[in-house]
Amino acid sequence: MKKLIIAAMAIAIAAPLAAVQASPKSDLENMRSLMFKKFPGVKLAEYGNGVYAIDKVRYDEWKSMEDDFPPYEPGLETGEKLFKKYNVGKCFPKGGIGIKQDYPKFNAKSGEVETLEGELMKCLKKNGVDLKAEKLSFKKGKFAAIAAWMAYKSRGNKINVVVPNDPRAMAIYNKGREFFYAKRGQLNFSCADCHVHNPGAMLRTMKLSPVIGQTSHFPAYRKKWQGGGGNPELAGFGTLQRRYGGCNKMVRAQPLKFKGGQHPTYVALEYFHTHLSNGVPINAPGTRQ
Ligand code: HEC
C-alpha cells in the first residue's frame, strides 16, 4: 500500500493534458506525437502489444509464450462453437467475420454508439437464447469467449473507429473523453495520469502501458482472471469494459455497473479510448498478466 501511494504521488506531479476542447482528429494526432516522442522507434502497429511494446525483456518472454502455447486457444474453440450454436452471424454485417475494427460504431438511426459486445448481447436475446440457463453474462466467461473469437477473426484489420460530424456522436465521444481525463477514487487518478503521462513507469511490479493500442487485443486473456472460478479455459477471458472496472478499482473508485447492460459512460469511454488506437491492427485475444 505504501509503495502504491509513493508511486501515486510521483504520478500526480505530471501535468494534466486535458480540458481544452479538441476534435477527434487532433486528439489522435496529439496523442500519437506525444507517444512517438516518448517511445522513439516503436511503430504504430507495435503499440497493440501493450506494455510489451516498450519493454524488450518482457516482450521476449511473452512472445515465446504467445507463439508456443497460446493459453486462449481451447477457449477460442468454444467461442467459435457457441457463435455457431447461437446463430450470431446472422445479426451482424459480413456474418460477423472480420468486423471488430469498426467498433464501437455510431448508429445514425438510433443516435447511439454500439459496441461489439453490446450488439452481441442484443443478438443473443433476439435469437431467443436463454441467457440464464446458458450462463451468459456481459464481460466474461462464455460471452467473452464468443466476442474474443469474433475479434480473433478480425486479426490484422486496422482499428477504424469513426466519429462522424454529428452532434450526437460528438456528445458521446466528449463524454468518454471527459471520463478519461477526470480524476477519481481515493488516489485521485485519471486514466490519463497512468496511461498518457506515465507509460513506462512502474506501479508496484507492473509497468504502465501507453494508451495507444490498449484496445486492440480485447477481449483479452489474463492469468489473473483465469483463477476467478469456473472453467479456467473460459474464465481467463474478459472484455475491455471488464478491464475498465479493474482500473477503476486500482485507484479505489467504484467500477460502474448498469443493470442488464453496459454502462453508458463505459460505452462512451470505449468509443473515445478505441478511437485513439485507430490504425493499430487487431491482435485479440492478447494474453496479459
Ligand atoms: C493508478 C494507475 C492506473 C490508472 C489510473 C488506470 N490504469 Fe489502466 N492499467 C494500470 C496498470 C498497472 C495496468 C496493467 C499494466 C498495463 O498494461 O498497463 C493497466 C492496464 C490497463 C489496460 C489493459 C492494457 C493491456 O495491454 O491489456 C487498459 C485497457 C487500461 N488499463 C485502461 C484504463 C482506463 C480506461 C483507465 C481509466 C478508467 C485506467 N486504465 C486507469 C494502471 C492504471
Confidence of residue 260 (pLDDT cuts 50, 70, 90): confident
Whether 267 and 118 have beta carbons less than 8 Å apart is answered as yes
- In short, whether 117's Cβ falls inside 6 Å of ligand 1 is no
- In short, whether 251's Cβ falls inside 6 Å of ligand 1 is yes
76 closest CA partner among 142, 157, 158: 142
Q: What pLDDT is stored for residue 14 in this prediction?
A: 45
d(CA 44, CA 2) in angstroms, rounded, equals 36
CA 250 to ligand 1 center in whole angstroms: 9
Confidence of residue 13 (pLDDT cuts 50, 70, 90): very low
Locate the ligand 1 atom nearest the alpha carbon of residue 185 and give its number: 5
**Mean pLDDT score across all residues of the chain:** 92
d(CA 196, CA 200) in angstroms, rounded, equals 10
d(CA 276, CA 191) in angstroms, rounded, equals 13
For the stretch 100-113, pLDDT in tens is 999 999 999 999 99
- In short, whether 214's Cβ falls inside 6 Å of ligand 1 is yes
| Cα Rg of the chain (Å, integer) | 18
Look up residue 29 and give its three cell numbers.
494526432
% of the chain surpassing 90 pLDDT: 85
Q: What pLDDT is stored for residue 5 in this prediction?
A: 47
Look up residue 72 and give its three cell numbers.
486462449
Handedness of CA 194, 195, 200, 206 (dihedral sign): positive
d(CA 172, CA 161) in angstroms, rounded, equals 13
Whether 194 and 11 have beta carbons less than 8 Å apart is answered as yes
Residues 6+ apart with CB under 8 A from 239: 117, 138, 139, 140, 144, 147, 218, 219
> Measuring CA to CA, how many Å separate 267 from each of 12, 141, 227, 270?
27, 20, 27, 5
CA 197 to ligand 1 center in whole angstroms: 12
Question: Which amino acid belongs to residue 165?
Answer: N
